[in-house]
Amino acid sequence: MSEVRKAAIPVAGMGTRFLPVTKAVPKELLPVGTKPTLQIVIEEAAASGIEEVVLITSPDKQEITNFFRTDTAYDQKLKAAGKEALLDGLSDLLKKVKITTAPQENPKGLGHAILCAKEAVCDEPFIVILPDVLIESRTPCCKQLIDAYKKTGCAVNATEHTPKSQIHLYGIYDIERSENKFHYASAVIEKPSAEEAPSDLSVVGRYLFPAETFKILEETPPGKNNEIQLADAMNTLAKMGKMVAYEYEGRQFDTGDPAGFLQANIFYGYKNHKKEIEQFMEEVINHSQSAV
């Protein structure tokens, strides 16, 4: 079985839910704390043993490519000021993982975006990470999927139980059989109603696919909105008996949604600055009580 060494991350989207800020700043570079969400998910990949990350990007989002360069004018100014150590975290990350790009000139769906990474990934199994989704876990989620892939040899995608009120927001797995946390899927249903959903196991933004997925995507006709849908390729794998929905350990934050983005900042802000946040909250409460 081939080692999983590469990850593909689609970053060509327009980020319209975050307008007007995304008119100037790619949504993948919006920060949780002082780190862009894209850096956080690449750190997850690196901690999982991934050696190369392929960014599927748009020619209109050069800022993303520039972020991972180490020779920009800003880098030179930091060095001249003796402050280059402020970028040590990013520099260390770039020593662990190679960042390459694959252009997506005309976005035609998530499946099309992944297909754009074919040449860079070559004939290897690979991870797909949606950069909107941050996952807090003891073992990196990508590493959990890699370990599950070694046991099954199938496509392995992260899943979790979803509240009934939110089922209509996600792709939902139709499960043929389950073995503890390994759920062998027969299909993926896109955003069903709670009443029509075959299970409560939803698609999460972490996927591990065998190399044959590229051939499947090439043969997948355009679907909804005349786009190549990744879910259609997943359904093909499921019909072949090669799709496992793995119930990962951890908690996800959907930073592609404004409310989820704020929740992630609150969670990680408290996690990284607990003392300062608790002091701030005490001051706010005291001030509110004295103002009554």
Domains of the chain, residue spans: 6-271
pLDDT of residue 224: 78
CATH class of 6-271: alpha beta
Can you list the pairs that 260-266 forms with residues at least 24 positions away whose Cβ atoms lie under 8 Å?
261/18, 261/30, 261/32, 264/32, 264/37, 264/134, 265/32, 265/33
Q: Which two tokens stand for residue 5?
A: 């060494």
Rounded-to-integer distance, Cα 117 and Cα 101, Å: 8
pLDDT at 5 over 70: yes
Average the pLDDT over 99-113 and give the result.
92
Say whether pTM exceeds 0.85.
yes
- Which of 90 and 291 is assigned the larger pLDDT? 90
Report how far residue 221's alpha carbon sits from residue 243's, in angstroms, rounded to the nearest whole number.
20
- Cβ proximity of 48 and 146 under 8 Å: yes
Flag whether pLDDT at 37 surpasses 90: yes
Give the pLDDT of residue 286.
85
Q: How far is residue 241 CA from its own chain's centroid?
A: 25
- 80: phi then psi, degrees, rounded to nearest 5: -65, -30
Contacts of 12 (CB under 8 A, 6+ apart): 56, 57, 58, 61, 104, 107, 113
Average pLDDT of the chain is 94
